[in-house]
Structure 1
Amino acid sequence: MQDAHAFLQTLATVLGVAAITTVVFQRIRQPVVLGYIIAGLVVGPHLPLPLNADTSTVQTLSELGVILLMFAIGLELNIEKLVRVAPTAGVIAVIQVALMMCAGVVVGRAFGWTQIESIFAGAAIAISSTTIIAKVFDEMKIEPRLRELVYGVLIVEDILAILLLAVMTTVATGSGLDATTLLLTTGKLVGFLVVMVVAGLLVVPRLMRYVVRLGRPETTIVTSIGICFGFAHACAAMHYSVALGAFVAGVLISESGEGHTVEHLIVPIRDMFAAIFFVSVGMLIEPSLVLENWVAVLVLSVVVVVGKVVGVGLGGIVTGCGIRTSAQAGLSLSQIGEFSFIIVGLGSTLGATRPFLFAVAVAVSAITTLTTPALIRRSEGAARFVEDHVPRRIGTFITLYSAWIERVRTAPAAATTGARLRRLGVLLVLDAAFLVALLVGGGLLHERIQHAAASSLGLSEGASQVLVFAAAALVVLPFVFGIVRLTRAIGLTVAGDTKIGRPVALVVQLGLLVATAAASVTAVEPFVPPGVGMLLLVAIAFIAIVSFWRNARQFELEVQAGGTVVLDVLKSKLAGEATAHAAHGEGHAAAPPPAPNDAPSLLLGLGAPRLLRIAPGSTAVGRTLGELDLRAKTGAAILAIVRDGKPSMMPGPKDQLEEGDIVAAVGSEESLSSAEALFTALEGDVQPA
């Protein structure tokens, strides 16, 4: 009975203090997650306050919060959604996570942390917070394109976080990163996941469809949570993370088509236990450890904000999202949250990291959580500033490249093209996997191979090192060349092997190369000498930027050549229209006005430019292209503006539109229709999103 009273006292204390902090933080317009962490500090053992809650009880309840959070994330995913977001959000997430992992490892080693601690630090700062972003987005009016992009990246990041949890478990329990132990534990994990997923697909979707058809909400919620805890227990019994089992259970239920039904029912339970989880995080914070490591906290906070803006921005540009949308997405994702706590908590539980790392991660999360609302609120202005100050050549290239990708994405793909892209993608993944395996194996076994070569061949230590390095290069070079060849083939398949399509194909290739290299470097960074992986990634990025700049110039020349012909067509149309008006004024039969949208398809891949006239009283009159944000709102790009018969090629974001201007726009049919509606919308009308 005494235990029951102690449990009740702990629960009442935790939920009571959490209720007060959540009300206060809602009133001051701050994320309630931060309020829960403050509540944990208040009821925790590290402050001299008379509200101490039992730590072991709260930790036990917080496990339920972790399980339900991961279960809810799994419910939002299914194979169809993953396929839809993979081409854009997948590339962005891989580039961003890989960059942040490398940055975290470099920072950890710079502060003298152990190799394992540096790996956990990199994983902790790599994943943005779905909970924080969802709460902030709900309070702000975020345009649909940006919201869809950010949530797509979050979905892929959540999947990568689950994989990181599995890898972190393998690394932390490995015997000093021994090759044999690492291979065996990874193989056991993969085998266990395959058995769990296959068996689950045979049973769970059918069971959930049957239960939901019964029409009893209590039966549905009990069954679904029972499945969730069952899978979590299976993972715990095999010494894997309970979060992994809960996530798999959520995905399996989502495959039944009843994910939204179950998600709606578990929201109150999830929110309550999630609150206890965040309170437990606050209880583990030791202010003295935060103060001792305040430099690391500040450095990692800056790395999170800057690194995520750069990583998401580069990924967004490569996938055709444009400068402004990419910058806004990067600012929106510049924080860490629940997964960071879970990852560093796993390291602490397994004894792989010291207690200070948890305190540092929570402090970084608190700082970035505080800055997130302000960054999102000012993201549009900041993105506009970046767009206005990008060199005109680069801005033009990115805009037209984005229109090209938009057209490719929305165009119906031929069966042969889709099959070719799938085959090339599978081959690329296989080449990258073999390359990573060889590099990891070489990193773990190079000392043994070096000693064996020195003893058997009678070589000195330096000579044996050179020999081993040369042999390793000969082994991995075919895979490197294979990756370069495959990315080039994918780029040409997407953009077409035409004169103007080749620069676009090269950008696609560079983006895939950077994503593949970033993921590969992240995988091998723990097994190579300090800084080697980061230096390799910087070198690849530098080469990509130089190539991008050179091709931007070539692309600009090609588009200008085609655009000049378009302008000649425009001038002839305007002259014909003026002649027709004059003939009509003299009483002659008026010739029908020339159709405004029959310009020839002069820019291969971009399609025929559509000629749009700025209507009198339009909301576009007197506004610059940057203020209209046409690319982000509609997906179209402006090729030229004709005013009083005088053409202006490749207008920039500071160019202003006036009544009667004729605009030549390119893009998909849907984006061009949206642009036309925007230019003809009158003051007071609702602009298309």
Structure 2
Amino acid sequence: MHGAHEVLQAIAIVLCVAAVTTVLFQKLRQPVVLGYILAGLVVGPYVPIPLVANPDVVTTLSELGVILLMFSLGLEFSLRKLFSVGFTAGVTAVIQCSIMVWLGIVVGKAFGWTTLEGLFVGALIAVSSTTIIAKAFDEQGVRGRMRELVVGVLIVEDLIAVLMMATLTAISTGAGLNVKDLTFTTGKLVAFLVGLVAVGLFIIPRAMRAVIKLNRPETTLVTSVGICFAVALLAQSFGYSVALGAFLAGSLVAESGEEKLVEHLVQPVRDMFAAIFFVSVGMLINPALIAEHWAAILVLTLVVILGKLFGVTLGAFLTGNGTRTSVQAGLSLAQIGEFSFIIAGLGLSLKATGTFIYPVAVAVSAITTLTTPLLIKVSGPVATWVDRKLPKPLQTFVTLYGTWVEKLREAPRRETLGAGVRRQIRLLVLDAVLLVALVIGTSLSADRMASFVEARTGVDEDLSRNLILGGAVLLAVPFILGVIGIARRLGVMLAEAALPARTDGKLDLAVAPRRVLTVTLQVGIMLLVSIPVVMVTQPFLKNAAGPLIVLTLVGVMGVTFWRGATNLHGHVRAGAQVIVAALAAQSHSKEPGAAQDEHALDHVQGLLPGLGAPASVRLEEPSPVAGKSLAEVNLRGLTGATVLAIQRGEESLSVPTAQEVLRVGDVLALMGTSEAVEAAKSLLTGVVPSAPPPVEPPPAETTQAHG
């Protein structure tokens, strides 16, 4: 137990130094999180300044900051909103975590660490810091779709971290990893979440509404914080993180419909303890250890930033988010944090890793904490740069891919299609599991089987081992081919659901888009299956056979994709001519301007189903973009929508160049998802949509674009 004097002294030192550094960083117009970390370095035990706070007391108090920050984050995301990004977040988190674990193993081998140490390093760099991101988002005012996606990924990452900790514990203690234990761990986690949500939805929203009716702010504050800590304690008692419990508590309170009031009351308390949390991170920075292990720290820092950028961007894009949102999410998640400390501490307590792993994890976390606000700030310009540097066929594909995924989500739910997809997914999972079991089983028993064969037959042990490995490769071929075949069938089924083929014998104008979508879905399914398989089997393989096979398959399919994307670009240019003709015909209509603009492209979607739902907008006086070129407006980079054509009086422009200057009176044909098109209309006209779903108002959208 800590004495009252120690607690008082620690709080006084931490908050006073943090106040000074916060004011300094605000004067310098830098994120205050960096000021808190500097304060932690000042009051920490590793810098010779006579202002040392008790680390144990500060760590205890910082836990309260984590809980309150996560509770506040949960208040912004009701369960309905969280479920709406569940699939996207799940796929993105699985791809990202699998890539990071594999990279951790590779880095471990490069530095001569054991396979188990590589696994722990991979696990601790796989999980991003919810606390750091939440604070950075609050400071920079990041809202909208990107924030929802990032928070969803963070929650799924925490769930994956729980499973990884259980797996690493089983491996480290020698108990071994078996399907029964893993199934039990997963089932226990699912049962806890379902039970907590079911009971919480029945009790917490009603209780909060009843308390708020009393119209006593202090009662509301005490009740909401009490619920927050109670659910966090419940999660901890079941062996899960307090952060997960606090987030779920916030989401349940948000279901009461009074989340804004609660958030306003909790904010001052949250900010104070959050400051203590970031100071505690700064106190862990040991310059001497950073100097000793600088090479590993530098490599892992680069791996975290670049690996998460690639993994998150890939997963987010494949699930239908545009280039901008995907790149911004990748840069936002490029750090590790509190869960990484827990995983590193677990390896130390189980004696599964060397003592160097923990200080290396702390140093990487501290550095990436420093870089996170900067990466979030530059994510908008970086996303714009990436979009501009894409080849023209890829720019066209990126714009249309979101519309196809949107159509797939909105496609009528046919029972036969659903049953067929579920059956293929079950077969895909079965083939993947059997392939993993074959690789691991062969790796663990090859030597023993070779010795047995030599004793029984007299065949040389090395030859026997090679024969066994060769037999395992032959046995693996049907499973690999099965995964490829199922991925191909699933891609075809889903693509046809999004862009149905014509059955009336007429020319099918969706062939080119459907072909590209099919290949893209096939590549995505292959990656979603193969990356986790490679991650799980890599510790048991002595070479890079798994990654090479995956890269070869993706490379072959990538060639097919590029050909399809090139054909698609030509298809879109031809479609733009049809749109130009529609705009020209409508310009001679007797309808008033607003009415003709609204209905100008109604029939184009039926003629060109692969182009999504093109929409038109007229630039009226005073348009904020009049007199600017398309490059200066950066419409696709900021909104994800593309200008297919421009009608200017009697003149028509098909697929205008980036240097084309917009004028008042121009009618622009826009292509993109419904959200992108609405955002583009708002940007072009300067008018905020009256019905916001799902588009955010311009201030939040602008913040997101530059955040």
TM-score, structure 1 length as denominator?
0.81
Contact 1:490 1:509 in 2 (8 A): yes
State the number of aligned residues.
664
Measured after TM superposition, the shift of residue 292 of structure 1 is: 1.0
Match of 1:553 in 2: 566
Match of 1:620 in 2: 625
Identity %: 42
Distance 2:411 2:35 in 1: 47
Measured after TM superposition, the shift of residue 85 of structure 1 is: 0.8
Match of 1:333 in 2: 333
Distance 1:338 1:30 in 2: 23
Question: Aligned AA for 2:467?
Answer: L
Measured after TM superposition, the shift of residue 553 of structure 1 is: 1.6
Contact 1:95 1:312 in 2 (8 A): yes
Distance 1:210 1:614 in 2: 49
Measured after TM superposition, the shift of residue 507 of structure 1 is: 0.9
1:186 to 182, 192, 197: 182
Aligned pairs (5 A) from 1:446-595: 446-456=446-456, 458-496=458-496, 498=501, 499-500=511-512, 501-529=514-542, 531-569=544-582
- Residues 389-433 of structure 1 show CA distances to partners (whole Å, capped at 9, x for unaligned) of 222222222222233334444566556656655565555455544
Measured after TM superposition, the shift of residue 514 of structure 1 is: 1.6
Measured after TM superposition, the shift of residue 84 of structure 1 is: 1.3
- Residues 202-258 of structure 1 show CA distances to partners (whole Å, capped at 9, x for unaligned) of 6554443564355253355435523432441342xxxxxx51x66257537845835
Distance 1:193 1:141 in 2: 33
Q: Any idea what SS the aligned residue of 1:174 has?
A: helix
Q: Any idea what SS the aligned residue of 1:45 has?
A: coil
Q: 1:299 to 1:10 in 2, by over 3 A?
A: same
Q: 1:395 to 1:177 in 2, by over 3 A?
A: farther
Match of 1:170 in 2: 167
Q: 1:189 to 1:445 in 2, by over 3 A?
A: farther
Distance 2:684 2:71 in 1: 45
Distance 2:119 2:681 in 1: 50
Q: 1:529 to 1:673 in 2, by over 3 A?
A: same
2:601 to 569, 582, 597: 597
1:232 to 219, 231, 236: 236
Q: 1:60 to 1:662 in 2, by over 3 A?
A: closer
Match of 1:304 in 2: 304
1:663 to 664, 668, 672: 668
Unaligned runs of 5+ in 2: 212-218, 502-510, 691-696, 702-707
2:151 to 149, 154, 157: 154
Question: Aligned AA for 1:229?
Answer: L
Aligned pairs (5 A) from 1:76-475: 80-140=80-140, 142=142, 144=143, 147-175=144-172, 180-181=176-177, 185-190=181-186, 192-193=188-189, 196-197=192-193, 200=196, 203-209=199-205, 211-212=207-208, 214-215=210-211, 216-217=219-220, 218-219=222-223, 221-235=225-239, 242-243=240-241, 247-248=244-245, 250-251=247-248, 254=251, 257-258=255-256, 260=259, 272-409=272-409, 421=421, 424-425=424-425, 428-429=428-429, 431-456=431-456, 458-475=458-475
Measured after TM superposition, the shift of residue 552 of structure 1 is: 0.9
Distance 2:524 2:112 in 1: 33
Contact 2:85 2:148 in 1 (8 A): no
Question: Aligned AA for 1:545?
Answer: G
Across the aligned residues of Structure 1 and Structure 2, the Cα RMSD in angstroms comes to 4.1
Measured after TM superposition, the shift of residue 290 of structure 1 is: 0.6
TM-score, structure 2 length as denominator?
0.80
Contact 1:313 1:330 in 2 (8 A): yes
Question: Aligned AA for 1:384?
Answer: T
- Residues 34-60 of structure 1 show CA distances to partners (whole Å, capped at 9, x for unaligned) of 444444433433333433344444455
Measured after TM superposition, the shift of residue 194 of structure 1 is: 5.1
Measured after TM superposition, the shift of residue 282 of structure 1 is: 3.6
Contact 1:616 1:659 in 2 (8 A): yes
Question: Aligned AA for 1:226?
Answer: A
Higher mean alpha-carbon deviation, 92-101 vs 473-482, is at 473-482
Q: 1:416 to 1:79 in 2, by over 3 A?
A: farther
- Residues 580-621 of structure 1 show CA distances to partners (whole Å, capped at 9, x for unaligned) of 99xxxxxxxxxx999633544322233464454444553333
Contact 1:514 1:540 in 2 (8 A): no
Measured after TM superposition, the shift of residue 197 of structure 1 is: 4.5
Match of 1:585 in 2: none
Q: Any idea what SS the aligned residue of 1:120 has?
A: helix
Match of 2:216 in 1: none
Distance 2:617 2:568 in 1: 24
Aligned pairs (5 A) from 1:14-33: 14-33=14-33
Distance 1:77 1:372 in 2: 22
Question: Aligned AA for 1:154?
Answer: V
Measured after TM superposition, the shift of residue 148 of structure 1 is: 1.8
Distance 1:182 1:27 in 2: 56
Higher mean alpha-carbon deviation, 502-511 vs 96-105, is at 96-105
Question: Aligned AA for 1:121?
Answer: V
Distance 2:37 2:597 in 1: 68
Measured after TM superposition, the shift of residue 561 of structure 1 is: 4.2
Q: Any idea what SS the aligned residue of 2:85 has?
A: helix
Contact 1:102 1:533 in 2 (8 A): no
Match of 1:589 in 2: none
Distance 1:7 1:570 in 2: 72
Question: Aligned AA for 1:94?
Answer: V
Q: Any idea what SS the aligned residue of 2:609 has?
A: coil
Question: Aligned AA for 2:351?
Answer: G
Distance 1:573 1:447 in 2: 77
Unaligned runs of 5+ in 1: 236-241, 582-591
Higher mean alpha-carbon deviation, 609-618 vs 367-376, is at 609-618
Higher mean alpha-carbon deviation, 592-601 vs 119-128, is at 592-601
